[in-house]
Structure 1
């Protein structure tokens, strides 16, 4: 990891890589034929690709949570009122304009990621150096490129398919490709990337590189989104029963403690460790999601858990402790209790709350905290779902119950707090194993378990879309709570985001618009 951090420092200082011009479409850039000549050049280019997910003040994680949760029944925008980050409020209410800044941000970040990956994939085979290492670099780039295209195709539908370095004038002529073509590229890239080393094979210096487990997990997510449960089951079987690269931590709450960063449960983390305080290598995402009223946090109060999400949990579920921060909670080392009086529900996001004691020597703009983007419990629940969809309901139960069993045995009292407003009253009957084998009933149970296990982790929209119930859930939410959130959802429009108008303008309307915008 330190090697990556120091390479990032070089990039931040302007060595080796390029920025896009203002007139250039955000999904293309000019490359230099005399730069990518040797192994060290390719490594720097690959580090530049990783960096696209964590550029200060333009971090992908922030967009992931805003779009992945705040457009769903799991989270409200929060903040300082409807006008504070209004583009997220528009997304939440499904009154999205084609000029929405959050929509444009997603497109820009992901195409910049794809750009950097294209350079590595294109130039690595002919660079001088160790061919095994260069092949690994190319496969890492393929895994990251596939991640970028997955996040694009599942929110925009048809998108331009750019797979090699191109001049801006060429890029402007690239139309949107069919979703099937995009999925085919994703599957091909992730199949190649499945040859990457296992997580345990990397040294400490390379601990946060993407692995075969990440590639296979994204491949499984792709098949699940396409409704190809047979292929998903095959891949998930490899991850869970053959490779065995991962294991659940013994306690659900461990996932968000510093000692367990990049743990056995972590499939993909965006690394934000601060090794050198003179370089802005931390993250500011937690600053956006914590209370607005507590000294040492100075949060903006966004990404607020809904009451509906809270109500989804059994009252004795220990996971409540590690999803919701409530007024009256106090973290060890603090002199003030958490104060969520400005939160529209009274809750804030526990999983992105970094206690002040863990930020000593830093500030709110440079927090040493890794973004836990994909966990192994997600894999287990996908496996259970795929098995159930393939008519193997009884075989799905052990994987579902493995997740529930870990939750059941988790400590309902958070060791990071010395005052806790609510402690789930666990008993021997808490989260009992599921025995249901009716396919329809078990499907509903698995979907519910995903919501509780992965709450506030940015994957809710993804689940509702692939389950083809996004509109049904959101309109029901609007009716239940008599709110505008979800009331405007139109099935023929809101499963996709609009193509950013700025990108259409640059392309001289080569890029078409999605229906309804």
Structure 2
């Protein structure tokens, strides 16, 4: 693991991908014992904890692109046939190292702040808010670590010396127990969602919604603690019962808002914020440039369009579901300097496999200057639609039986997906789920609905794993290979490479070398 030395505190407040609300300037070197005194110092330290989210190795790119390859998409970049996105990689892969290291760096920053915040000269209310945010972020980084790597070292104190590297991985149930403790404590400390004008800050709604996600994971593979369904339902219900959150009537507008810096916290509860800073790409991410509609037209906004879709995903959408042609582009762009759109024509296999994950489109990006490789488009970490679907899933598994509210939650998402919530819409009939579905059929309906609604948002791979269907789903793609033209059959490399070990990533070689007590995941 990357060693983080406490003496280099100034590095902690140098931001890459930092949230818009945290526009603090880096300070000169100062000993930690003398830091964390004023509100500005504590706020700057907190900014350093948030900063991790926007790093390229986190939601700047890897967590929603290379590390979320699933049955919906394939990677169109690698010419070597070796990449974590292809489930064919060496344990020394730099992307593994970077993501592992950056998450532990965020944990260390949170630990440093939590150890010293009580010595600060700030009001009790602010101290509670900042402490709650740091606790939550530490827990969230552990959730990301354990979701991707399983059992990992549980470090709850900051690094004091360079030699503090040997540590055994904690038991999975102990890591989740700590995550629950931290997040539950944070829920009582952080501010209400209405206290903020943006979606970058962790609010009570954020904590409640992510607690639902964590508990659903605990209820699924590998822990399979069915008692957690009740907890997931409880936390999701708190978001719903708040009475503030609602679906944006226009599904496409949710993602246009991310590009236009419009904050609709009723729908998009928590986001990673990216921004343009005097021509520097330091504050930008890859949302819409590595994915998005591929084009070399710099007026529209250059995009590699490297997250290509699988035809089975396209075919899975129901007739009239507007989400299909937003999640998957139905047009491409004219060459520069023209900025017009050209609609796809015909149904040739090459057309389907050349389409891209297109939720975030640079034509809507508002920024003084569009960079070639990076963008200012925000990335959603929690949306209200997700909360509704999590409630429905947890309620469906309730020992008391599914309530009518579960069906209402799913149907609200579907009604919006088919355009029925748009002003003046002529409602599409037969959009709601059939009544009387049993537990298994209702669960399958939710699994499909999460794919339609939340595709390419960094959740699909983890959903498939917790449901225990990752391996069979991925290997099942191979039967579709013949549906792709020869030039696109390389897109099935991921399905062909997948093995049982791939429910977890390999522990990076650098960690295995440095930490003599670390254990490698099975299959490596």
TM-score by length of 1: 0.84
Name the count of aligned residue pairs.
476
1:427, CA displacement in angstroms? 6.9
Give the Cα separation in 1 of the matches to 2:312 and 2:19.
41
Q: Say which of 499, 514, 522 aligns to 1:515.
A: 522
* Residues 273, 368 of structure 1: 8 Å contact kept: yes
What SS does structure 1 have at the residue aligned with 2:496?
Answer: coil
* Alpha-carbon spacing, 1:286–1:357, altered in 2? closer, same or farther (3 Å): closer
Give the Cα separation in 1 of the matches to 2:284 and 2:338.
22
Note the residue ranges of structure 2 that are not aligned, 5 or more in a row: 1-17, 220-227, 483-491
1:33-63 Cα deviation digits (max 9, x unpaired): 22223332211100011112224x5453411
What SS does structure 2 have at the residue aligned with 1:191?
Answer: helix
* Residues 397, 434 of structure 1: 8 Å contact kept: no
**1:487 aligned partner:** 496
2:277 is aligned with 1:303: no
* Residues 94, 488 of structure 1: 8 Å contact kept: yes
1:78, CA displacement in angstroms? 1.3
Greater CA drift, 206-215 or 246-255 = 206-215
* Residues 328, 337 of structure 1: 8 Å contact kept: yes
**2:505 aligned partner:** 497
Greater CA drift, 249-258 or 479-488 = 479-488
TM-score by length of 2: 0.83
Greater CA drift, 105-114 or 432-441 = 432-441
* Residues 504, 521 of structure 2: 8 Å contact kept: yes
* Alpha-carbon spacing, 1:498–1:325, altered in 2? closer, same or farther (3 Å): same
Give the Cα separation in 1 of the matches to 2:59 and 2:37.
30
Give the Cα separation in 1 of the matches to 2:409 and 2:325.
23
Give the Cα separation in 1 of the matches to 2:103 and 2:50.
11
What SS does structure 1 have at the residue aligned with 2:356?
Answer: strand
**1:231 aligned partner:** 231
What SS does structure 2 have at the residue aligned with 1:232?
Answer: helix
2:199 is aligned with 1:213: no
2:387 is aligned with 1:393: no
1:270, CA displacement in angstroms? 0.6
* Alpha-carbon spacing, 1:343–1:212, altered in 2? closer, same or farther (3 Å): farther
* Residues 36, 42 of structure 2: 8 Å contact kept: yes
**2:224 aligned partner:** none
* Alpha-carbon spacing, 1:339–1:292, altered in 2? closer, same or farther (3 Å): farther
* Residues 291, 348 of structure 1: 8 Å contact kept: yes
1:467, CA displacement in angstroms? 0.5
* Alpha-carbon spacing, 1:347–1:109, altered in 2? closer, same or farther (3 Å): same
Q: CA RMSD in A?
A: 3.0
2:442 is aligned with 1:442: yes
1:252-273 Cα deviation digits (max 9, x unpaired): 1110123543431012101113
* Alpha-carbon spacing, 1:6–1:374, altered in 2? closer, same or farther (3 Å): closer
1:316, CA displacement in angstroms? 1.7
1:349, CA displacement in angstroms? 2.1
1:74, CA displacement in angstroms? 1.1
1:140, CA displacement in angstroms? 0.3
1:400-425 Cα deviation digits (max 9, x unpaired): 1111111122699xxxxxxxxxxxx9
Q: Say which of 146, 152, 156 aligns to 1:159.
A: 152
Give the Cα separation in 2 of the matches to 1:351 and 1:330.
19
**2:15 aligned partner:** none
1:387, CA displacement in angstroms? 0.6
Matches within 5 A, 1:351-366: 351-355=359-363, 358-359=366-367, 361-365=369-373
Give the Cα separation in 2 of the matches to 1:324 and 1:252.
13
What SS does structure 1 have at the residue aligned with 2:362?
Answer: coil
1:348-375 Cα deviation digits (max 9, x unpaired): 1221221177455343355332112221
* Residues 107, 152 of structure 1: 8 Å contact kept: yes
Give the Cα separation in 1 of the matches to 2:364 and 2:387.
32
Give the Cα separation in 2 of the matches to 1:466 and 1:173.
30
Give the Cα separation in 2 of the matches to 1:38 and 1:335.
50
Matches within 5 A, 1:318-397: 318-328=322-332, 335-337=339-341, 345-355=353-363, 358-359=366-367, 361-365=369-373, 367-391=375-399, 392-395=401-404, 396-397=406-407
* Residues 304, 343 of structure 1: 8 Å contact kept: no
* Residues 8, 51 of structure 1: 8 Å contact kept: no
Give the Cα separation in 1 of the matches to 2:67 and 2:429.
33
What SS does structure 2 have at the residue aligned with 1:167?
Answer: coil
Give the Cα separation in 2 of the matches to 1:4 and 1:459.
22
* Residues 317, 426 of structure 1: 8 Å contact kept: no
* Residues 237, 391 of structure 2: 8 Å contact kept: yes
Q: Say which of 41, 52, 77 aligns to 2:75.
A: 77
Note the residue ranges of structure 1 that are not aligned, 5 or more in a row: 18-30, 413-424
Give the Cα separation in 2 of the matches to 1:381 and 1:15.
46
1:479, CA displacement in angstroms? 3.4
Give the Cα separation in 1 of the matches to 2:464 and 2:128.
36
1:325, CA displacement in angstroms? 1.5
Greater CA drift, 481-490 or 226-235 = 481-490
* Alpha-carbon spacing, 1:400–1:207, altered in 2? closer, same or farther (3 Å): closer
1:272-308 Cα deviation digits (max 9, x unpaired): 1336556843333322123444311332222222212
Greater CA drift, 247-256 or 429-438 = 429-438
1:2-40 Cα deviation digits (max 9, x unpaired): x964854513xx5458xxxxxxxxxxxxx8322223332
Give the Cα separation in 1 of the matches to 2:102 and 2:352.
30
* Residues 297, 333 of structure 2: 8 Å contact kept: no
**1:273 aligned partner:** 275
Give the Cα separation in 1 of the matches to 2:421 and 2:454.
17
What SS does structure 2 have at the residue aligned with 1:347?
Answer: coil
Greater CA drift, 183-192 or 255-264 = 255-264
